[in-house]
Amino acid sequence: MASLKDLRARISSVKSTQKITKAMQMVAAAKLKRAQEAAEASRPYAQRLAAVIGNLADSVGVGEGGPALLSGTGRDDVHLLVVLTAERGLCGGFNTNIVKIARLRIAELEAAGKTVKIITVGKKGNDSLKRDQGSKIIEHIDLRSVKNLSGKESAEIGTKITDLYEDGAFDIASLVYAEFKNVLVQKPMVQQLIPAIAPEDAPKVDLQGASYIYEPNEAEILEALLPRYLNTQILSALLEGAAGEQGARMTAMDNATRNAGDMIKSLNLTYNRARQAQITKELIEIISGAEAL
């Protein structure tokens, strides 16, 4: 059994850890409010733009002569996965779940005979994937210096992806990220970016039988809108991931604080029992000594 001094040191150490986890929980809670508001504010615009893209695509049709980001290359041999994770840990299974679904997608594509390339956004995802998928990672984007996500970061990522697409580096690009549902639930998902397709839950515009005349024309409008749509989807995924990270961190730190409290109670009980046993032993020794005299 540990000595009383060791138990006191252990209790002090756990209390210090509990203070840290409590502070991290409070910081995450404060950041979560801002991140959640930003993620929720981006959804209506992203959904409406997706609906516009979907309606324009239906009008112009997908095929030869259409915008490259919409019509695709006509092949699906090379897939690019853009994996969005957090830059820091201590957020439960948030990063692990995203990497897990990325690995499952990679395994599915390779089983179908496809070539996979990876762009990682976020240190944790890069660190995890480079252990067994390092040869597939063609670029890592570091956002550690970014305090507030904006269209600038999504535009830089979007430009890298479109440049690779124009160079013929891949045929299909997909985002792997976690959609923020609530503080307890962050849903990892895969969303196709190129060729651009409107999400299934995108609102449909009811033209009510009206016929619209586009100026200059649908194809040219799509050429201008598709890069913006791509950047919007990336920004939305980044904001969803930021909110999910803070929600997961707040939950993880809350659990850690509770576990530290339980451990302190257990250690205090062990300490009191050991102290009582030591006092009893000393009393027995004193009484035995007195009787011997």
Confidence class for position 210, pLDDT limits 50, 70, 90: low
Q: Which residues pair with 116 in a beta bridge?
A: 79
- Residue of 14, 6, 12 whose CA lies nearest to 274: 6
Q: What is the dihedral of CA 82, 88, 89, 91, to 10 degrees?
A: -80
What are the tens digits of pLDDT across the range 149-163? 878 888 889 889 998
* 91 included as an active-site residue: yes
What are the tens digits of pLDDT across the range 106-150? 999 999 999 999 999 989 999 999 888 888 999 898 888 777 787
Q: Provide the pLDDT for residue 62.
A: 54
Does the pLDDT at position 61 exceed 70? no
Does the pLDDT at position 51 exceed 80? no
Rounded CA separation 47/63 (Å): 24
**Average pLDDT of every residue of the chain:** 85
Residue 8 within any structural domain of the chain = no
Residue 10 within any structural domain of the chain = no
* Residue range 26-49: mean pLDDT, rounded: 88
Residue 194 within any structural domain of the chain = yes
Structural domains in the chain (count): 1
Rounded CA separation 245/32 (Å): 8
Rounded CA separation 91/223 (Å): 40
Sequence-ordered alpha helix ranges (H) in 67-168: 68-71, 94-111, 123-133, 151-166
Residue 48 within any structural domain of the chain = yes
One of 91, 157, 239, 253 is an active-site residue; which one? 91
Confidence class for position 225, pLDDT limits 50, 70, 90: confident
**Better pLDDT: 222 or 100:** 100
Strand 186-194 relative to strand 172-180: parallel, antiparallel, unpaired?
Answer: antiparallel
Residue 176 within any structural domain of the chain = yes
* pLDDT more than 70, % of the chain: 88
* pLDDT more than 90, % of the chain: 34
Domain with 175, as residue range(s), is 21-203+212-252
Does the pLDDT at position 203 exceed 80? no
Which residues does 188 contact at the CB level (< 8 Å), separation at least 6?
Answer: 97, 98, 100, 101, 176, 177, 178, 179
Residue 94 within any structural domain of the chain = yes
Residue 13 within any structural domain of the chain = no
Q: Write down how long the chain is.
A: 293
CATH number at residue 234: 3.40.1380.10
Residue 199 within any structural domain of the chain = yes
